[in-house]
Amino acid sequence: MPSANRLRLLLLLTICGPASLVSAQLRVVSYNSLQGPNAGFDTVMQAIGEESYSGFSKPVDVLLLQEQNSISFPAGSTQQIVDILNGIYNTNTFVAGTQNSNFSSDIRQGIVYNSATVQLIDEIAFGSLSSSGQARQALRYQLRPAGYDAAADFYAYNNHYKASNTDSDEARRLVEASAVRNNADALGEGTHAIYAGDFNMYSGSEDGFQRLLSAGPGQAYDPVDRVGNWHNNASYAEWHTQSPRGNFGGMDDRFDFQLVTGEMLDGEGVDYISGSYHTFGNNGSTFNGGVNQGNSIAFSGVTSFTKSQVLDALVSASDHLPVVADYQVPAILEAITGTVPSMLGQGQAFNLDLLIRNAASVLTPAGADELDFTYTTTGDLSGSGSGMAPALASAASFPIAFDTSTEGTKAGSIIIETASQGAANSYVNIPISYQVGEGSPLEQQVIARALLPTVADDINVTSFQFGGAFTTEQPLASDARTLAFSSDADMFGIEDRNDNPPFVLVDDSASSSDTAGILQSSDFGNAFGVVDIENDVSSGPLSASWTFDISSATGGLELSIDIAAMGDFEAANDSFLFETSIDGSPFSTLLEVTVDEDATQNYTLEDGTVTSLDDPVVVDGVTLSNLFQTFSQSISGIGDELILRFTATADGGSEAFAFRNVVIEGLVAADGLAGDYNGDGTVDIADYTLWRNTLGAEVAEGTAADGDGNGLVDAADYQLWRDHFGNSSNPPTSAQATVPEPSGLLLLMANACCVLSLRRVSLTSGI
């Protein structure tokens, strides 16, 4: 009997590939765009999205811009950049922030973000402008990965520090850096923050830079740990961002950064992905020249443009090169159970499958934090444990045991929790209820058996018809005789499509030269067989069909056949195939027999002699012999009528193929009466009422009104009841009733229930 907690299939939409706009992991870019967008800006943005860095690529999620015009200014504005990104990806999800820094010229900071992957929760400008203090206000953005709550929030500071290299300029940059650190420190310990922008600092020893790195809640760290004297220093060439235009001094300074707080480097929650930080377009081979001069970087994965096109675009579009870094997102706890039975027998052992996985939608396992979880149970359930699930891994399965020691209504909960930092859906409570008492389990039963034809001496074989319905468990005949076809006969439901059809019914005591001794007759019995009546005359392909009544089965169909063969076969000329069709559906292959032309098989005959022949036939990897072997195969689907079709071609009298004991089993209700949901021996209105009242319920397979044994009470169960309405295992009565039609609403509900065949919890705190 199949397990009652067999899981239904879950269809998940997986977004992947370089053009994905909804992958949770985040690509952050800081870019001084020279009051742009300028010519080539669209090329730069598309190339950043296509570039495969650290093994994956994705479009920008957060774009922190410097040297922007007022957001509402019609020319050269941030909105133009929004339009460019939406145009590249044919979407409308890119939007701009609304906060302007307090500065009168056209060199403001701004933000553009993909609202499908990140939310802008808040934005502020802070700091007082003065001739000896801040040159520009700082902007702070509070951001949240889409699909998460406030526990996953992080901050991005966007600064454009005072330019030039005098003592006064350095002093003003210290004021600006102090304003940023004071603001970040006020957020407290545990804050995830990125300090981005055009720092205009010539050395890591500068006071302003050291202020950012100073101890405190908002202490900044360099993800690549390259703090030093980078000005005009070739050993820092790969980190230089200023200036891609050769006529403005060339590549000689690391002015642009994404520094982070320590919380972004501990591997938990929102976190920097190691190895992803880089200066876009610079591999360190260009120093003190334009980025499009010399042997600069080749862009892995960028297929829309050549290297030269990207480098030229960087020159025309940029004041400084963009700084790109990728960040992981927190885990997402998802818990799924198998079908919960509504009824179990007293003392029946039952374990429910609990599946737990990290459902973060990312491009790579490194794109999300691991999920550390525990699960416990309450009430009449038992089971507990813990585990760790990386992103993109298959769900881990855990058994939850049901208490069935006493009868009655049972209930409990499965509680799944995670302490993973910032995880979404961190607490899940799945309530479970079930009944322990008398059920109506399904049993695997023989529901049909093929009767092979019997032929008496006085029967005119040209008029004998083979086929039709077969009764359950009817014994096989024992007085078979050898039967061959005349060249134009149409017998046993077999169409003669060639001369000398090769189908014969083999007799235990056959003595003709073509069949005697070919198969071991003492082990043969009554069987349907194939030999070539006229040696070496190619015959076929011809076919015979058997029709079975399978209406009593609710699923679990399986067909078994005893098969034997003996001979020197040829793959080009000999073939044997079993196919099935349910209720007129297209035939599908059940058992295919192949010829192994590289093998030799020994056959032991009745007199004890051994015959060795080349090229035997094989079924499911098993080489056939002159002794019958049983082969079983499951059959998909349910219905009222199953047709088994056998097709064969044979071309030699030294070849024989035979089969017998064609048996079909299936899941049948214990009372054997399909549609009798209340078990009273009659398929009537009471069974319809039970179906109606439990429509959509997930139950143990074949219990309640689950007529087709799929674990769900749905429209198919109504149809099964309707098809068998009026059937009874009790003495007949005069009462009759009309079969009701389900309403459109009920059918809609049934269709919906067919889809919702899993109990699934992912983004809510309970059900």
Q: What are 86's two structure tokens?
A: 């939406």
Burial class (CB in 10 A: 0-12, 13-18, 19+), 164: exposed
Give the DSSP H/E element, type plus range, for residue 632: strand 629-634
Per-residue pLDDT tens digits for 51-83:
998 888 999 999 999 998 765 544 557 899 999
CA–CA dist 464, 718 (Å, integer): 41
Per-residue pLDDT tens digits for 269-315:
999 999 999 999 998 988 999 999 877 788 999 999 999 999 999 99
Per-residue pLDDT tens digits for 492-501:
222 332 333 3
Per-residue pLDDT tens digits for 705-716:
877 766 788 877
Per-residue pLDDT tens digits for 93-148:
999 998 877 665 668 899 999 999 999 999 999 998 999 999 999 999 999 999 99
CA–CA dist 477, 654 (Å, integer): 27
| pTM for the structure as a whole | 0.60
Describe the chain by its helix, strand, coil percentages, rounded to 5: 15, 30, 55
Q: Taking Cα atoms as reference points, which of 453, 461, 444, 483 lies closest to residue 662?
A: 453
Q: What are 744's two structure tokens?
A: 């459109």
pLDDT at 736 over 70: no
Give the DSSP H/E element, type plus range, for residue 445: strand 442-449
How much is the average pLDDT of 312-335? 97
Q: What pLDDT band is residue 350 in, cutting at 50, 70 and 90?
A: confident
Per-residue pLDDT tens digits for 548-588:
888 777 667 888 887 877 777 888 777 888 899 998 889 99
User: Looking at per-residue confidence, does 258 or 485 come out higher?
Assistant: 258
User: Where would I find the beta strands (DSSP E) of 199-321?
Assistant: 220-221, 256-261, 271-272, 278-279
Q: Are 424 and 148 a contacting pair, CB within 8 Å?
A: yes
The DSSP 8-state label assigned to residue 758 in this structure reads S
The residues, any chain, with a CB within 8 Å of residue 14's CB and separated by 6 or more, are 361
Q: What pLDDT band is residue 182 in, cutting at 50, 70 and 90?
A: very high
Per-residue pLDDT tens digits for 380-403:
999 999 999 999 999 999 999 999
CA–CA dist 579, 591 (Å, integer): 7
Provide the b/e sequence for 627-660 (b: ≥16 CB within 10 Å). ebeebebebeebebebbbbbbbbbbbbbbbbbbb
Q: What are 210's two structure tokens?
A: 């050291």
Tell whether the torsion through CA atoms of 360, 363, 364 and 366 is positive or negative.
negative
Q: What is the reported pLDDT for 183?
A: 98
How much is the average pLDDT of 527-540? 45
Q: What is the mean pLDDT of the chain?
A: 77
How much is the average pLDDT of 664-687? 74
Q: What is the reported pLDDT for 388?
A: 97
Domains of the chain: 26-328 (3.60.10.10), 333-439 (2.60.40.3880), 446-668 (2.60.120.260), 675-761 (1.10.1330.10)
Strand duo 193-198 + 154-160: pairing: parallel
DSSP β-bridge partners for residue 160: 198
Q: Are 466 and 459 a contacting pair, CB within 8 Å?
A: no
The DSSP 8-state label assigned to residue 236 in this structure reads G
Per-residue pLDDT tens digits for 230-283:
999 999 999 999 999 887 789 999 999 999 999 999 999 999 999 999 999 998
Least confident of 31-45, 346-360, 617-631: 617-631
Q: Are 229 and 265 a contacting pair, CB within 8 Å?
A: no
Q: What is the reported pLDDT for 634?
A: 87
Q: Are 288 and 232 a contacting pair, CB within 8 Å?
A: yes
DSSP β-bridge partners for residue 221: 260
Q: What is the reported pLDDT for 741?
A: 46
**Whole-number Cα distances in Å, 604 to 32, 175, 427, 519, 566:** 87, 99, 67, 9, 10
Query: If DSSP codes are grouped into helix, strand and coil, which group holds residue 493?
Result: coil
User: Looking at per-residue confidence, does 642 or 460 come out higher?
Assistant: 642
Query: If DSSP codes are grouped into helix, strand and coil, which group holds residue 544?
Result: strand
